[in-house]
């Protein structure tokens, strides 16, 4: 790939997420990356921005450690809930393990539960298929996924293959045991609704849904994956792995959000801060070099968390307009500001010294 340094300014992709808002054919937007990089904040803000240009938006958390409720400061469940302050933005949180508890009844459903546990990932696949069926029925114009850390996300993209294996195993059991399951269900008085044909039909139905959705996932007009990261080595490494895996799954990805960027705008320089800015810049340069054809959006590190609809809306401006440091080193204004801050700090220190001296004299 060409280095970002040799790309003409006119050729460089827009460093914002505006392309996601402009692409009105988008149906599925995945937001993923390493744990702790701010995926939930980014997916929440993307859903808020999309709600301003699309008819209806659903943001779903598939991360067992749900944070959507914290981001919007509103309780969400496994059913879509309207986000306060909006008429067209809904949120829901799903947990595959909790969903699977519905299958833990006695009798034939218990058998199905045992079988799904024997096939790694099939419980999550079935839960995900059920959720997709629900989402499709409700017909949102765009769905944003706040995904779990990278490993879980990649497993989610393998669900169609996992369900295929599950179905093959069920068919193998059906062929091996014939009508034994039907006899067992009648023997225990469970009726025909829990026979193996019903179970196979259920898995087959889910497989159809997930394969249909999987075809949509591979269509760049309908689906894109937004990688969220921070300017550090491990995050750069994880993003590279994620982008390669997405290419393997034929899933479009052309947006990277670099979160928690420290901008040099403190009037009085700190050695630690200066070192961190320099380190971060090294990795930001590498991101630009590796992904010179991606829309790379840099977000500033804030002194407080972004929680609540108002805070999300305020912070969303940095997704559409590149953040610029308020301070420019070497200017008259910067030097005047630095002197002003130093004078103020000196006055505070002198006042503190007076208080301490008076305290000692009183003692």
User: Binding site for ATP, residues?
Assistant: 34-41, 232, 259
Asked whether the CA dihedral 300, 24, 149, 83 is positive or negative, the reply is positive
Contact between 147 and 153 (Cβ < 8 Å): yes
Contact between 131 and 95 (Cβ < 8 Å): no
Q: Following CA atoms 264, 266, 268, 274 in sequence, which dihedral angle do they give, to the nearest 10 degrees?
A: -30
The token pair that represents 252 in the structure block: 């479009």
The residues with which 338 forms a beta bridge, in sequence order, are none
The token pair that represents 129 in the structure block: 């298929």
Q: What is the C-alpha separation between 295 and 16, in angstroms, rounded?
A: 6
User: Of residues 14, 22, 24, 63, which has the active-site annotation?
Assistant: 63
Q: What is the C-alpha separation between 273 and 93, in angstroms, rounded?
A: 37
DSSP symbol at 220: T
What strands lie across the sheet with 28-32, from one edge to the other?
A: 81-82, 89-93, 57-61, 142-146, 28-32, 223-229, 255-261, 295-300
Asked whether the CA dihedral 171, 177, 181, 186 is positive or negative, the reply is positive
Neighbours of 257 (CB within 10 A): 27
* φ/ψ of residue 260, rounded to 5: 60, 40
Q: Which helix (H) or strand (E) holds 28?
A: strand 28-32
DSSP symbol at 102: G
Q: What is the C-alpha separation between 125 and 111, in angstroms, rounded?
A: 17
User: Is residue 63 annotated as a catalytic residue, yes or no?
Assistant: yes
Q: What is the C-alpha separation between 179 and 168, in angstroms, rounded?
A: 17
Measured CA distances, 109 to 95, 105, 194, 197, 211 (Å): 19, 6, 7, 13, 24
Measured CA distances, 14 to 177, 254, 273, 290, 313 (Å): 60, 11, 28, 16, 21
Active-site residues, by number, are 63
């Amino acid at each position: 790939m060409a280095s970002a340094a040799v790309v003409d300014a006119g050729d460089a992709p827009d460093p914002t997420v505006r392309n996601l808002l402009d692409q009105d054919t988008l149906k599925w937007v995945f937001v993923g990356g390493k744990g702790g990089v701010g995926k939930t904040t980014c997916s929440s803000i993307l859903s808020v921005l999309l709600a301003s240009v699309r008819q209806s938006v659903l943001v779903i958390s598939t991360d067992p450690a749900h944070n959507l409720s914290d981001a919007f400061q509103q309780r969400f469940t496994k059913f879509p809930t309207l986000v306060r302050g909006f008429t067209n933005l809904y949120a829901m949180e799903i947990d595959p393990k909790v969903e699977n508890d519905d299958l833990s009844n006695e009798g034939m459903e218990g058998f199905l539960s045992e079988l799904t546990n024997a096939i790694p990932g099939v419980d999550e696949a079935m839960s995900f298929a059920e959720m997709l069926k629900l989402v499709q029925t409700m017909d949102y114009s765009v769905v944003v996924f706040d995904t779990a850390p990278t490993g879980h996300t990649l497993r989610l993209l393998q669900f169609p293959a996992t369900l295929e294996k599950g179905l093959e195993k069920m068919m193998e059991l059906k062929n091996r045991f014939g009508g034994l399951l039907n006899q067992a269900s009648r023997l225990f008085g469970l009726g025909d609704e829990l026979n193996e044909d019903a179970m196979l039909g259920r898995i087959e139905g889910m497989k159809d849904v997930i394969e249909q959705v999987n075809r949509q996932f591979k269509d760049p007009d309908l689906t894109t994956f937004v990688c969220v990261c921070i300017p550090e080595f491990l995050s750069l490494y994880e993003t590279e792995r994620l982008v390669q895996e997405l290419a393997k799954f034929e899933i479009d990805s052309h947006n990277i959000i670099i979160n928690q960027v420290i901008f040099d705008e403190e009037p009085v320089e700190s050695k630690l801060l200066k070192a961190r800015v320099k380190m971060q810049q090294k990795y930001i340069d590498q991101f630009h070099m590796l992904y010179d054809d991606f829309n790379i959006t840099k977000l500033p590190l804030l002194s407080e968390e972004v929680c609540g609809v108002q805070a999300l809306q305020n912070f969303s401006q940095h997704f559409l307009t590149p953040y610029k440091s308020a301070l420019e080193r070497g200017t008259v204004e910067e030097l005047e500001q630095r002197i002003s801050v130093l004078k103020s700090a000196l006055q505070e220190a002198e006042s503190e010294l007076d208080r301490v001296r008076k305290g000692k004299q009183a003692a």
